[in-house]
Amino acid sequence: MTMRRSRGWPGRAAARGTSRLRVSEQYRPFARQREFHESPAKYRLFGGAAGPGKTKALLWEAIRQANNTPGSDTLLLRRTYPELETSLLAYFRRDVPRALYRSYNESKHVVTWHNGSTTRFGYCRNEHDVYQYQGAEFLFIGIDELTHFTLKQWQFLTSRNRCPVPGSFPCMAGATNPGNIGHAWVKALWVDRVPPPGFDRVELYDAAEYEFIRARLEDNPVYANDAGYRKTLEALPEHLRQAFLAGDWNVFAGQYFDVFDVGRHTARPEELRLEAWWPRWISVDWGFQHPSAVYWHCAAPVEAVTRDSWFVTRGRETDRGGSHNSPVTSHQSLIVTYREFVQNGLSPRMLGQAIAERSGRERISEVFLSPDAFAHRTAEASIAEQLGEVLAANGLPRPAPADDDRVGGWQWMYQLLENDAWVITENCRKLIECLPLLVRDERRVEDIRKVDGDDAADAARYGLVSGARIAGLANVAPMGASAVGARHPDKVGTGAVPLRDAGGPRSAPTFIHGMPLGEQIERQVTAEDATSRAIHFQRLEGEARRFFRPKGLPRRRW
């Protein structure tokens, strides 16, 4: 690769009458930021840990490029508009004096500089939003929190990185921490320096074009001695602490939900009109020291979900308002997770009251609760019984034990995401933040490693697996890995076997202590005609008697 002349930040010796000097007078980069600005690489990545001044460096790099090349255009991006508003735009309004630029268009978020160059602030919430820049030319493209973007978005934007000004050098830069949906491809390109999966022309990858400027908290003089901020980072769960404090890119190796994409799988609540008569249910993961996590779900017909962006996903396009056929959505329905409540320190009765208040007058058909909540830990009523008393008093169903097959449940969640059969509203912030951070367990690769803060994912899993029948997806939901292996050894881990036999009870009946037997059997029989129901009831009653039969003491050997 032919390396170009260094883009060093202008020093004090620059002529005082130029805009270049005015830029340099407003921004004094510290050592690691200067290293970023002076890198000759075509594609730069700055950051790693939290707090080294990544966003500020990215903003001033765009300003410098625009002021150094008259008549050029530059672009700064975040994934969503709220993120753009609270980061790049906030820095611009706070740090860039009005005298430095000619004008700023508030509605279009475009700055025009005195030399005729422009800097545009934008966002790409959905994967296909990058196409709004088709036909544009940008001397410099800076992407803040690059791991929030997909490889396809990055690759498309590289095609917009060009400039007709003679002698100019088009380049791009990203700033980010480890983690989130783009962790794997960003790590591959800049940290491992290899083409990532999905990089079609691997022979065109040139590692010399990519440079990673690693920065940590102590590299920023503003926060290096801030004991309060460091204490905040040190109090994070281990995997987040390693990522944000140490900038460790290996902590998220083996990301499980690599298919999850903000924009593709999320929606603003106001975009979705959920009709009152559509089936709704609740899933709960109870905790006291750890947070209790509660999610509200709705089964929605695909053709009734009025979202402009829903039907354009991962290169597959269907007509707006049409049906979405896939192995998962064979019933032309999808699951919408539309409300979240996460809080610790709540007793079962307090949690029940919180659920009732947030449910209002909604018709909730089921409440699925983590199975361990049905155990009697003391002489007092079980957690499930205490919670159930409050729910029943408010007209809600008593909780039923959720399906707790972890491996099958994670596979089912992955299938729903892969087939666009699950959408999460943006008010479910904990869940959206949690999914990209989950990684495989090294000791059991089919499972997800248990970490602090995964309560949201567990609660969602209960709702998606146990609620599959309500959503009309029961015949395609995955069965537990153990049951699959017993009946179809060649399909272990594929999720190809139904969770429930069509029309009947679960293949492996589940019984627990602390819940009326009749109610347990009723919940496990899905047949509609009276004869089939009677047969299934009789079989389950026999299996229940064997389950609850007192176990004999072992015979004593003399």
284 forms beta bridges with 294, 369
Judged against a pLDDT cut of 80, whether residue 534 lies above it is answered with no
Annotated domain spans of the chain: 19-226, 266-499
Q: HSE of 420 in the Cβ direction (CA atoms, 13 Å)?
A: 22
**pLDDT on residue 496:** 31
Which of the four pLDDT bands, split at 50, 70 and 90, describes residue 550? low
Radius of gyration of the chain from its Cα atoms, rounded to whole angstroms: 28
If you average pLDDT over residues 463-481, what whole number do you get?
70
Contact yes or no for 480/494 (Cβ under 8 A): no
Which pLDDT tens digit goes with each residue over 187-207? 889 998 999 878 888 899 999
Q: What distance in Å separates the CA atoms of residue 11 and residue 285, rounded to the nearest whole number? A: 58
Calculate helix-pair angle for 19-26, 54-68, nearest 10 degrees.
170
pLDDT digits (tens, 9 = 90+) for 134-186: 989 999 999 999 998 989 999 999 999 999 999 999 999 999 988 888 888 99
Nearest partner of 59 among 37, 40, 82, judged by Cα: 37
Domain 19-226: assigned CATH number: 3.40.50.300
Q: Are 285 and 371 in contact (CB under 8 A)?
A: no
Contact 217, 49 (CB under 8 A): yes
- CATH number listed for the domain at residues 266-499: 3.30.420.280
| pLDDT for residue 333 is more than 50 | yes
- Tell which residue, 461, 531, 538, 463, has the closest CA to residue 503: 531
Evaluate if pTM is beyond 0.75: no
Condensed to tens digits (0 to 9), the pLDDT of residues 14-24 reads 333 444 446 76
Q: How far from chain centre, in Å, is Cα 441?
A: 18
- Would you give the end-to-end CA distance of the chain in angstroms? 85
Weakest mean pLDDT among 254-258, 465-469, 501-505: 501-505
Task: Give the separation between CA 228 and CA 235, rounded to whole angstroms.
Answer: 11
